[in-house]
Amino acid sequence: MPPLEQSLFLPDEKSTIQLAEKWAKPLFSATQKQRVIVYLNGDLGVGKTTFVRGILRALGFQGAVKSPTYTLLETYRLPEITIFHFDLYRFSDPLEWEDAGFNDLLQNRALSFIEWSEYGKPCVPDADIQFNFAMQDNGRNCTIQSVLF
């Protein structure tokens, strides 16, 4: 199956949430068969955490959703799925991924969002799907690249 690639313009935060809602069920369904690794790429403030918040809300999570910039990892346990949200921006060495024991967390029935994955390469596993966010005009452009869907 050839990889999917699609670009969308997101004029505001609401459109980022709507994109996340569209992807919540396919990502959830995929994790029923295997772990799913999602890279969230883009500069600071482009909507990566907003996207994760939209996924979580669409899957029924009602608690606080915050950026893992300082904690490196936020974990969300839902009845049928565990969601990990990693932020590797503060990594100074890719081996910090292994030292933190993050590989041990990547399991079946887990959906993992990884921001700043390039700081963890080559230790971080390859992505099944990437959402690449970039500032454009007064909104954002999101290019989606997937080998899973």
- Tokens representing 14 are 């609401």
| Residue 100 φ then ψ, to 5° | -80, -10
- How is the chain split into domains, by residue range? 4-146
Each residue's pLDDT tens digit, 69-83: 999 999 999 999 999
- Position 1 confidence tier, pLDDT thresholds 50, 70, 90: very low
pTM, to two decimals = 0.94
CATH 3.40.50.300 for the 4-146 domain, yes or no: yes
d(CA 145, CA 95): 26
d(CA 94, CA 89): 11
Each residue's pLDDT tens digit, 87-113: 999 999 999 999 999 999 987 789 999
- Helices 13-31 and 48-58: crossing angle in degrees, nearest 10, is 60
d(CA 134, CA 76): 26
Each residue's pLDDT tens digit, 29-50: 999 999 999 999 999 999 999 9
Which residues are within 8 A (CB) of 105 and not within 5 positions of it... i.e. 6 or more apart? 73, 84, 112
**Over the chain, what is the mean pLDDT?**
94
- Tokens representing 15 are 């459109």
Which residues are within 8 A (CB) of 2 and not within 5 positions of it... i.e. 6 or more apart? none
- Tokens representing 53 are 């918040």
